[in-house]
């Protein structure tokens, strides 16, 4: 910067655009250089950064170059304020969407990490608090085997409930819960279906999966899951651990990225050593 002026390259870097973009804005009459010297070098002022920011906001609001040129030329302050208010709402919505996506990504990464850590081997891991929307488990007519009755990817009663309350974007995984008593006594049949969401809602169907130490193991495939569930229970009891809560069977979204099996997930139960 020289004498309060930026060269084209410096100003483009400040604005986060290319020099070609500045050139286009200049040709369209949106943002002409403040100074053009005899040698042809062009310079921009500090004040023009605010003009650039306004152009960027107006573009984000969906206005064309010609419409932005008209607004800047007529200096229609009221119209600019209305558009900026619209942009503020759009930006707030976009920010909320990005935050939701970040939460979803973190949950998926966490599930994938647990899957790989506990793959084919029972592990004792620290779990953070998680939030589940639940409904009573509904068995199909195909038999009473636990995994023959579960399709966590399509829990219709929960899907309808979640859609009505606007939770769809926050669902990160689904599964079933086997009560503590059933799990402890070897009755390996679910009592609840659930879908995990990324934040704690005020909801009558909310179940909190508490933070703590969990015995867990991953599985791939229906047959593997049934065997793994029994193996986890027997291992917990055999090691003399105290079972402190129900058993959770969680299907991992995008399981095909982790295993050749579509039915892939993590089985976990809170314990006390």
Q: What is the pLDDT of residue 148?
A: 47
CA 64 and chain centroid, separation: 32
In this structure, the answer to whether residues 71 and 169 fall within a common structural domain is no
> What CATH number does residue 150 fall under?
3.20.80.10
Residue 91 within any structural domain of the chain: no
Q: How many domains does the chain have?
A: 2
In this structure, the answer to whether residues 126 and 254 fall within a common structural domain is yes
Segment among 76-80, 152-156, 181-185 with least mean pLDDT:
152-156
In this structure, the answer to whether residues 69 and 112 fall within a common structural domain is no
CA 265 and chain centroid, separation: 18
In this structure, the answer to whether residues 149 and 36 fall within a common structural domain is no
Residue 84 contacts residue 55 (beta carbons within 8 Å): no
Residue 256 pLDDT greater than 50, yes or no = no
* pLDDT tens digits, one per residue of 162-198: 777 777 767 778 888 999 999 988 887 888 888 888 7
Structure-model confidence comparison of residues 243 and 158, the more confident one: 243
Taking all residues of the chain, what is their mean pLDDT, rounded to a whole number?
A: 80
Residue 82 within any structural domain of the chain: no
In this structure, the answer to whether residues 139 and 247 fall within a common structural domain is yes
Give the residue-averaged pLDDT of 52-60. 85
The reply to whether the predicted model has a pTM over 0.85 is: no
In this structure, the answer to whether residues 156 and 45 fall within a common structural domain is no
Position 143 confidence tier, pLDDT thresholds 50, 70, 90: very low
Position 243 confidence tier, pLDDT thresholds 50, 70, 90: very high
Q: What are phi and psi of 259, to 5 degrees?
A: -155, 160
146 token code pair: 């636990």
Q: What is the pLDDT of residue 211?
A: 94
Q: Which domain holds residue 237?
A: 107-272
Residue 213 within any structural domain of the chain: yes
Which residues, in sequence order, are CB contacts of 239 under 8 Å at separation 6+? none
Residue 201 contacts residue 167 (beta carbons within 8 Å): yes
Segment among 65-69, 157-161, 162-166 with least mean pLDDT:
157-161
In this structure, the answer to whether residues 65 and 122 fall within a common structural domain is no
């Amino acid at each position: 910067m020289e004498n309060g002026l930026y060269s084209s390259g410096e100003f483009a870097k400040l604005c986060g655009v290319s020099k070609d973009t500045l050139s286009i804005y200049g040709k369209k009459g949106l943002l002409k250089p403040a100074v053009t010297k005899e040698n042809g070098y062009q310079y921009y002022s500090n004040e023009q950064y605010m003009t650039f920011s306004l152009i960027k906001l107006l573009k984000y609001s969906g206005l064309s170059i010609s419409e932005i040129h008209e607004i800047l030329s007529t200096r229609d302050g009221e119209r600019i304020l209305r558009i900026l208010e619209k942009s503020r709402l759009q930006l707030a919505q976009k920010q909320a969407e990005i935050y939701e996506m970040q939460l979803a990504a973190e949950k998926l990464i966490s599930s994938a990490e647990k899957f790989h850590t506990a793959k084919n081997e029972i592990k004792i891991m620290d779990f953070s608090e998680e939030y589940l929307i639940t409904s009573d488990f509904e068995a199909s007519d195909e038999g009473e085997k636990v995994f023959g009755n579960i399709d966590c990817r399509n829990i219709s009663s929960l899907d309808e409930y979640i859609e009505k309350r606007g939770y769809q974007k926050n669902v990160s995984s689904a599964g079933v819960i086997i009560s503590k008593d059933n799990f402890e006594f070897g009755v390996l049949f679910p009592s609840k279906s659930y879908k995990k969401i990324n934040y704690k809602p005020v909801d009558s169907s909310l179940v909190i999966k508490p933070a703590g130490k969990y015995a867990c193991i991953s599985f791939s495939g229906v047959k593997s899951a049934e065997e793994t569930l029994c193996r986890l229970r027997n291992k917990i009891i055999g090691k003399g651990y105290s079972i402190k809560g129900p058993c959770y069977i969680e299907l991992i979204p995008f399981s095909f990225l982790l295993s050749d099996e579509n039915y892939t997930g993590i089985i976990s139960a809170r314990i006390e050593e």
